Amino acid sequence: MTDGLTITRTFPVTPESVFAAWTMPEVFSVWFGTDAVDVPLDTLSMDVRPGGAWSAVMHLPDGHQIHWEGSFVEVDPPNRLVLTMTDAPGTDPGAPLTVDLLAVEGGTEMIFTQMNSGFTDEQYAQLAEGYRGFFDTMERVLTAEG
């Protein structure tokens, strides 16, 4: 069984821009969920500070909705963000997600980690595919803003 998931991605923008994509509602609402779904800005709430809560409603093409919630565990702009995330509001979100940002030549290396959440190898593979789609959309948003 896999202990978790790590995705490393380099974006051609500054760490400040990538950090903002995770913490500014007007940017997060565009990339979270990919181009295939809608996260209306008026459904997104972010209190970006340790202990602060966040929530969002994802509108799927089939008409269903996914209600997300979590909290910020660590906020160290523009280097690190640790947050919890669940699509089952009111339940234990499990292990937090960690986003580490490093300035590298040509941009920012993002190391995204989700560990010890009790998923099967198959579920981690599905999560990895989903997150990569999110991050593809994030890159388009970030590079469009220049």
Q: Which two tokens stand for residue 8?
A: 């490393």
What total number of domains does the chain contain? Answer: 1
CATH number of the domain bearing residue 62: 3.30.530.20
- pLDDT of the residue at 2: 61
- pLDDT of the residue at 117: 65
Angle at 81 between CA 119 and CA 136, to 5 degrees: 70
> Which regions of the chain are under pLDDT 50?
1, 146
Residue 122, amino acid: E
Distance CA 60, CA 39 (A): 9
The pTM (predicted TM-score) of the whole model is: 0.92
User: From the CB of residue 146, how many other CB atoms can be counted at a distance below 10 Å?
Assistant: 7
- pLDDT of the residue at 145: 59
Q: Which domain holds residue 113?
A: 4-145
Nearest to 29 by CA among 58, 51, 50: 58
- pLDDT of the residue at 1: 47
